[in-house]
């Protein structure tokens, strides 16, 4: 978990923090309800994760980007093999440009890092995670049957999974994109990993992870064609589920006796106030996840071309605070959508947030405490509007039809 972060040497905008692929509640449920051997393994994995969180402040940065790397717009990847030990980074097995090796986890990690690099460069002209050519390192075969993967602020680390409930953690390219997106988020706007700001952090990582998968597909996938699942292929065949999360239908990704039921809400009506999981960062992220899905469907086409640009512009907005609420992020996103794509873009994004029950702020700054309760679009007359930017009005007439169409 990433309750606190520190800057990385040589990269003042990049923060060193720990983000795991599996939400803690999945392993905790397994430790309480799984078969004996899997309960014991889950307890070991939870212990490893706690040790990693406690040790993250002491981790040195293995390598940092150089001036030459900053000027180069090709990835600089190195893959290491931990040999089922828990020592990082392990033995180097593949460096950028070398011939492939006969190890599927190495190949998947290498390709996933490359796909993520290409996405950020081609879509946002961002040179690696820190925008300064940061080398992309990954370690595979970490631990023995380790059920997790993580980004620790300097590299990706992948377990092999237990083979019963979880497959190898390199199998899902969107998970790789998700974890590396945490590095981008930390560099651009270090959203506090707690409560709604933390849920936005997790949601943004899901957004960009999903976009990496859609962008890397051959042929590339449109918003309408995408499955909007996070971690499809990660769950083994014995699990009753399809993925870790569903952005299209939060709360439906899995329902399994060993792992529990997907707890994500799809709207603010089911928002969960909780102490665990840093205030529910992996749980309540389902709400902004669905808002992005609705916006992407509303825009149509490739999701990175419009919805993705709006979300990244929002993350990059100076007025977005590190403790942002859903309302703050939503309000800024509506303003960015209008700047980028005019009234139509504004209405699509406003409608997406309305559909998931997130209120839009009144006033010139999204950080103001006053909020407007956004009525359901069906309750509005033709001349009713909502002021979401402080100096502009949004005609929300017709949004209801658009959002219903987006769900079909």
Residues forming the active site? 179, 282
Residue 330: phi, psi to the nearest 5? Answer: -60, -45
Nearest partner of 395 among 346, 359, 336, 354, judged by Cα: 346
Report how far residue 249's alpha carbon sits from residue 141's, in angstroms, rounded to the nearest whole number.
32
Nearest partner of 214 among 304, 292, 349, 312, judged by Cα: 304
Name the β-bridge partners of 19: 151
C-alpha distance across the termini of the chain, in Å: 36
How many residues does this entry show for the chain? 408
Residue 34: phi, psi to the nearest 5? Answer: -80, 175
The two structure tokens encoding residue 169: 């953690």
Which DSSP letter does residue 379 get?
A: G
Q: Positive or negative CA dihedral for 186, 190, 192, 196?
A: negative
CB-CB contact of 332 with 314 (8 Å):
yes
Report how far residue 273's alpha carbon sits from residue 278's, in angstroms, rounded to the nearest whole number.
11
The most distant pair of C-alpha atoms in the chain lies apart, rounded to whole Å, by: 66
Peptide bond into 89 cis (omega under 30): yes
Name the β-bridge partners of 229: 246
CB-CB contact of 17 with 56 (8 Å):
yes
């Amino acid at each position: 978990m990433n309750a606190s972060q520190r800057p990385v040497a040589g990269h003042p905008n990049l923060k060193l923090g720990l983000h795991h692929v599996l939400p803690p509640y999945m392993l905790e449920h397994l430790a309480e309800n799984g078969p004996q051997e899997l309960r014991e393994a889950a307890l070991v994995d939870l212990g490893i994760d706690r040790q990693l969180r406690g040790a993250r402040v002491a981790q040195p940065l293995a390598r940092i980007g150089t001036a030459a790397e900053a000027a180069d717009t090709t990835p600089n990847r190195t893959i290491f093999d931990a040999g089922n030990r828990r020592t990082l980074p392990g033995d180097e097995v593949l460096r950028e440009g070398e011939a492939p090796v006969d190890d599927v986890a190495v190949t998947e990690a290498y390709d996933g890092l490359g796909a993520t690099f290409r996405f950020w460069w081609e879509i946002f002209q961002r040179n690696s995670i820190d925008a300064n050519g940061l080398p992309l390192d990954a370690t595979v075969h970490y631990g023995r049957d380790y059920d997790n993967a993580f980004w620790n602020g300097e590299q990706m680390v992948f377990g092999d999974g237990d083979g019963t409930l979880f497959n190898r953690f390199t199998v899902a390219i969107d998970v790789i994109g998700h974890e590396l997106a945490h590095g981008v988020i930390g560099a651009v706007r270090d959203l506090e990993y707690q409560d709604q700001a933390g849920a936005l952090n997790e949601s943004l990582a899901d957004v960009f992870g999903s976009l990496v998968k859609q962008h890397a597909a051959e042929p590339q996938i449109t918003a309408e064609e995408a499955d909007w699942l996070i971690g499809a292929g990660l769950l083994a065949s014995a699990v009753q589920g399809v993925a870790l999360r569903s952005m299209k239908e939060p709360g439906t990704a899995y329902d399994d006796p060993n792992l529990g039921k997907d707890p994500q809400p799809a709207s603010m009506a089911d928002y969960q106030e909780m102490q665990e999981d840093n205030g529910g960062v992996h749980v309540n992220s389902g709400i902004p996840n669905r808002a992005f899905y609705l916006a992407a469907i509303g825009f149509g086409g490739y999701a990175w071309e419009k919805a993705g640009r709006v979300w990244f512009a929002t993350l990059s907005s100076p007025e977005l605070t590190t403790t942002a609420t859903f309302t703050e992020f939503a309000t800024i996103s509506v303003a960015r959508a209008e700047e980028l794509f005019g009234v139509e873009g504004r209405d699509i994004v406003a409608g997406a947030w309305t559909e998931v029950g997130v209120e839009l702020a009144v006033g010139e700054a999204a950080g103001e405490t006053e909020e407007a309760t956004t009525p359901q679009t069906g309750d509005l007359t033709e001349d009713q509007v909502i002021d979401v930017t402080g100096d502009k009005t949004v005609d929300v007439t017709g949004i209801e039809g658009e959002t219903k169409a987006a769900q079909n």
